[in-house]
Chains A and B, each alone.
Chain A
Amino acid sequence: MGLVEKGIRFIENITRHASYEQEWIVLREADTSPDYGVLPYNRPIEQHIHNGVINLDKPPGPTSHEVVAWIKKMFGLEKAGHGGTLEPQTLEIGFEAGLSQGYGCITSSFS
């Protein structure tokens, strides 16, 4: 299989795996040089890490932000980020639970 076919197959696989359906319109047949760039799944490991995403199962307890900070530290990276926190879902209940259970004042239940 040629490099272009491999590239297209890779993209089609990740798209289908993510449950999205897409069809192509081909404008022109073209080739790609093996001298530049690399198939995304063949990046050398350091490059793979620096261009990588982890589908992480967030544990209960720490916030999304804390989890990202741990990952960043574990890998010794300058940057890491997440694709949307799970916290908006809990913010208000923390606020209300603090009140209804008589846990001090609003600010202390939320600090």
Chain B
Amino acid sequence: MRRGYPKVTGVLPVALANATKVISNVIHTVKEYVMVIQFHADIDIEKVKSVLEYFVGEIYQRPPLRSSVKRTVRRRRIHYIELLDHRDRYVLVRVGCDAGTYMRKLAHDIGLILGIGAHMRELRRTRTGPFREDETLVKMQEVSEALYTWREKGDERYLRRIILPVETAIAHLPKVMILDSAVDAVAHGADLAVPGIARLTKDIEHGKTVAILSLKGELVALGKALKNSSEIASMKKGIVVKTWRVYMDRGVYPPIWRKK
């Protein structure tokens, strides 16, 4: 471990096998962190509070020197900053923000505004979109124990608790549930037309990603909406979701659509 390297822990959704196909969808979702900021001089906690308040809303950040993205200034929204605790020169905060907000930058900038300097000492992610720090969050040891209990003792219950269905990773997306007769067509990459839809959520927007589900709730594919929810509801026919990532294997549902 490199000296001076901050500890980073917390919510890291890991997709197994097929689920890897759709896990990248959580990257651009809302985040929450708990961070220890270390100030470089003694602090007046009331001043710290008002400076934290100042950072809520739109902020501007340039990505770090070494980063995989283009280093142009980006606009990000800080939804809230809560002061949880403080001791000496350390302050513990909870931050809710857009994806791609650099906490390390935020800590640095808070130090700048206070005029005494500061850096991020420790960071824990407590949320990324549908995944949170709750009873589903598990440690590496628990995964290893669950796997052992299943392999050596034939008891799969523990493993079932540890592994969440892939649908959890798309829980934040707008959804359509489709008829059995439409499933295999979509699994073959066909776009979704209105007659194949049983129900849809009200938050579908033109151009946004939609999760296409079977009536049993199984993920069939992800698509891009060509209409918003109310438009879809008023249509009798026509393609409304363009399928762009098929999840379900072909042939799970019967190919009724092929019948002449």
Interface residues of A (CB under 8 A from B): 3-4, 6-8, 10-11, 14-15, 17-20, 22-33, 36-41, 43, 45, 48-61, 64, 67-68, 70-71, 74-75, 77-95, 97-98, 100-101, 103, 109-110
* 5 smallest beta-carbon distances between A and B, as pairs: A97-B4, A92-B64, A18-B130, A83-B26, A52-B163
- Across the interface, do B217 and A90 meet the contact criterion of CB distance under 8 Å? no
Which residues of B does A touch, CB under 8 Å?
Answer: 1-20, 23-27, 63-68, 99, 102-104, 119-120, 123, 125, 128-134, 136-140, 143-144, 147, 150, 156, 159-160, 162-169, 171-172, 174-175, 177, 179-180, 183, 194, 197-203, 213-219, 229-230, 232-233, 252-254
**Taking the nearest CB of chain A, how far is it from the CB of B64, in angstroms?**
3
Per the bound structure, the CA–CA distance linking A68 and B19 in Å amounts to 13
Contacts of B25 in A (CB 8 A): 83
Q: Is the CB of A101 within 8 A of B3?
A: yes
B interface SS class: mixed
User: Which residues of chain A are near B103, meaning CB under 8 Å?
Assistant: 89
Known A-B contacts A54-B14, A89-B102; the reply to A7 vs B177 at CB < 8 A is yes
Query: Can you give 6 A-B contacts (C-beta < 8 A)?
Result: A8-B215, A27-B197, A51-B18, A56-B14, A79-B20, A83-B14
CB pair B199 A60 closer than 8 Å = no
B residues near A37, Cβ cutoff 8 Å: 180, 183, 214, 216, 218, 252-253
Cα distance A83–B21 in the bound complex, in angstroms: 11
Partner of B169, one of A3, A15, A53, A87: A53
Residue pair A58, B10 in contact (C-beta under 8 Å): yes
Contact B147 A75 (CB under 8 A): yes
Query: Contacts of B200 on A, CB cut-off 8 Å?
Result: 24-25, 27
Least distance between B183 CB and chain A CB atoms (Å): 7
Interface centre among B103, B120, B199, B233 (most CB of A within 10 A): B199
List, in ascending order, chain A residues with CB within 8 A of B160's CB: 45, 48
Partner of B14, one of A11, A36, A60, A68: A68
**Which residues of B lie under 8 Å from residue A93 when comparing CB positions?**
4-6, 104, 119-120
User: What is the distance, in angstroms, from B158's C-beta to the closest C-beta of chain A?
Assistant: 11
Residues of chain A contacted by B215 (CB below 8 angstroms): 3-4, 7-8, 30-32
In the bound complex, residues from chain B placing their C-beta under 8 Å from that of A74 are 143-144, 147
Contact B7–A23 (Cβ < 8 Å): no
State A71–B7 Cα separation when bound (angstroms): 21
